[in-house]
């Protein structure tokens, strides 16, 4: 009788852990891309190159470079990302959330 509740708890822990890992990877990717845009103009001189670099830094997520936006702000080069996140067990957790991350690095 307790097994369904324990399985639901276990699945919830795994799914939210995966969401936190995805958010952390996304934060790391935008920070690395913003730094690259400011420091390494040979590799990330154009916005499209910075987007590709950000997608390559999001290890394990298989994101398209269009998920990232690159702008020049008063704080410097800013990279932002909006990624939809769906749970693997969508029958148990029927929610879709959008994970966002942004980083700005001085020019």
The token duo for 30 is 């935008």
Q: What is the pLDDT of residue 76?
A: 95
Q: State the pTM of this model.
A: 0.88
Which structural domain, as residue segments, surrounds residue 95? 3-105
How many domains does the chain contain in total?
A: 1
Burial of 61 (0-12, 13-18, 19+ CB in 10 A): middle
pLDDT truncated to tens, each residue of the chain (107 aa)?
A: 889 899 889 988 998 899 999 999 999 999 999 999 999 989 998 999 999 999 999 999 999 999 999 999 999 999 999 999 988 877 767 778 999 999 999 98
């Amino acid at each position: 009788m307790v097994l369904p509740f324990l399985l639901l708890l276990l699945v919830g822990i795994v799914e939210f852990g995966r969401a936190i890992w995805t958010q952390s990877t996304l934060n790391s990717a935008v920070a690395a891309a913003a730094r690259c845009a400011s420091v390494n103009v040979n590799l990330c001189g154009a916005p499209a190159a910075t987007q590709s670099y950000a997608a390559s830094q999001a290890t394990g997520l298989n994101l398209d470079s269009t998920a990232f936006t690159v702008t020049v702000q008063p704080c410097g080069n800013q990279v932002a990302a909006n990624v939809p996140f769906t749970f693997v067990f969508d029958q148990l957790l029927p929610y879709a959330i959008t994970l966002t991350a942004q980083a700005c690095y001085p020019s």
